[in-house]
Chain A
Amino acid sequence: MRLEVGHIFIKDIQFGTESKIEDGVLYVSEEAVKEVVLEDEHIKSVKFDIARPGESVRITPVKDVIEPRVKVEGRGGVFPGVISKVDTVGEGKTYALKGMAVVTAGKIVGFQEGIIDMTGPGADYTPFSKLNNFVVVCEPVDGIKQHEYEAAVRFAGFRVAVYLGELARELTPDETKVYETYGIKEGMEKLPGLPRVAYVQMLQSQGLLHDTYVYGVDAKKTLSTIINPTEVMDGAIVSGNCVSACDKNPTYVHENNPVVHDLFEEHGKTINFVCQILTNENVYLADKQRSSDWTAKLCRLLDLDAVIVSQEGFGNPDTDLIMNCKKIEAEGVKTVIITDEYAGRDGKSQSLADADVAADAVVTGGNANQVVVLPKLDKVIGTLDYVNTIAGGNEHSLREDGTIEVEIQAITGATNETGFGYLSAR
């Protein structure tokens, strides 16, 4: 499967009378995009804002971050099974608006996390501070249930992203990247002697605010399966997650998964990047056993030499991670696992809720309990009402002088377990 991804660089976003992209500037007609959001009867009103890198702006609580894309050649459309029809995607040509994102924000439950600071020390912990963000804050109709509200905001974000992505359809990309994977036999013939490597991606799948969708299917109802990484670049995986800001994967991370990109960098040179394997993180222990057995079975069936396994979230997914690692290693396939740590504020506690000797190659996204003080910023998009109740915050979090003391787990993407972050020992 071969996908060309054309990058259209967006250096600024401005409101305008007409939505268009001109000379790298995205102009958005508030009226037109409002219509797109208010298609859903669950949404009473919507506000838009623009947050640029370096501005004294704090966005919170963030629900999802999405990169606008448009499919210009090949089957299907972006976000298949969610916005577009369920046609298989991942081949042909797709354009992506680089340097910007759609950010959905606003309260769904009273303990929601997710801070993106566009400047100051907080900005150093979130890659999304480097983007021009088009922020969508939806107000639900009265009496709506949290499930309905979460779904309404989730879909509104995708609709806005698709609307903005469409503006690029007739443009010429600033640069183009090509990604290609082969069939099993074809790959072995084309790349003889290279180690066969796959990426095992674990998806959070546990209920309200903890769900992920693959081609529109709730991942908790799926068996471990194989997907082409280029399908994911076309939005085959979307996030319904909005707790655990630091180590959940916003849709943007699925579209731009650094594990996938790094494996493609080495594809045909030092490795044969065979495929991506998706597996879930359910609450029920027998589901964990079934899914990890299945993942190990697929690794064996594909005659892999090695896999990289990434986790999503913290807590019971630690058990899925270790089960996957242990069982895949037992099939004779080498594993590297990527996780993050909850090692206490002093960093001295046991990092994970599970462990095994087979997990002897571990990459960490950082200690989510690490404390940071965020300065007062001039403008807040969303609300600070929940800063005291978000994970890693407490009753003293929002201080009188406007500064906020929180653990970095409150910052969107701070310890991301695909490596989509800045924390490093380098």
Chain B
Amino acid sequence: MYSASAEVSRPFLIGGAMKKDYRIITNNPLVREKLGQDHDVEFYDCSYEDVLKKVKEEVCKGYKLLTHPLSGSVKPNETPYKSVMVSRKSGETDLMGIEIIERAIASVSKFQFKSDKYAPQVYEDFRLIDYTLISSALPSADAW
């Protein structure tokens, strides 16, 4: 089970003028930089897996999982960055969300850890890809 530890920074919360119905939990500095102004972005300086564990903790508290925690092709442990959207209000237990996040955490171990082996430019590219993936969910999330 995930628990806050010394490596995890306090959430970096920037509230925009218009509050959305969702929060973005991320370890991606680019997401904080690009979306932090207008969205609730909770930034943690932690690993990919720990982002998923943090999300699981939130979903277990009754927040709804809004985006799928796995990327479409970039593998866990290949990229160090992950951003996941959850609801701002808690409610009934999101059983499907719990199932999805648990399966996502289980899948992390299948991939060799190599997130610490890249040249600096590659990290920038991973940040960009994670940012575009979470951004692709914004029009749908904002439609509610």
Which chain A residues have a beta carbon within 8 Å of chain B's beta carbons? 109-111, 146-147, 204-210, 220-221, 241, 243-244, 248, 281-288, 313-319, 342-345, 349-350, 353-354, 369, 388-389, 391, 394-395
Contact among A109, A345, A354 for B125, CB-based, below 8 A: A109
A388 touches B117 (CB 8 A): yes
Question: Do A391 and B133 form a contact, CB below 8 Å, given A283-B67, A350-B107?
Answer: no
B114 touches A316 (CB 8 A): no
Residue interface mask B91-110, A partner, CB < 8 A = 1: 00000010010011011011
CA distance A147 to B134 in the complex (A): 15
CA distance A354 to B106 in the complex (A): 11
CA distance A123 to B90 in the complex (A): 52
B66 touches A284 (CB 8 A): yes
B105 to A: closest C-beta gap in Å: 10
A-B contacts at CB below 8 angstroms, number: 138
- The 8 A-B residue pairs with the shortest CB-CB distance, nearest first, are A244-B73, A316-B68, A207-B132, A110-B122, A315-B70, A109-B125, A284-B137, A208-B132
Question: Do A204 and B72 form a contact, CB below 8 Å, given A283-B67, A284-B140?
Answer: yes
A368 to B: closest C-beta gap in Å: 9
Contact among B128, B139, B140, B141 for A109, CB-based, below 8 A: B128
Q: Which of B28-86 contact A (CB under 8 A)?
A: 65-75, 78-79, 85
Majority secondary structure of chain B interface residues (helix, strand, loop or mixed) = mixed
CA distance A287 to B110 in the complex (A): 27
A110 touches B107 (CB 8 A): no
Total B residues in contact with A, Cβ cutoff 8 Å: 44
B70 touches A207 (CB 8 A): no
Contact among B103, B121, B139 for A110, CB-based, below 8 A: B121
Contact among A204, A283, A345, A394 for B68, CB-based, below 8 A: A283
A208 touches B67 (CB 8 A): no
Is B112 an interface position by the 8 A CB rule?
yes
B72 touches A111 (CB 8 A): no
A209 touches B129 (CB 8 A): yes
13 A–B pairs (Cβ distance < 8 Å), ordered by A: A109-B122, A147-B132, A206-B133, A210-B73, A243-B73, A244-B73, A283-B67, A288-B68, A315-B71, A318-B70, A319-B68, A389-B117, A394-B114
A369 touches B137 (CB 8 A): no
Question: Do A284 and B141 form a contact, CB below 8 Å, given A110-B119, A207-B132?
Answer: yes
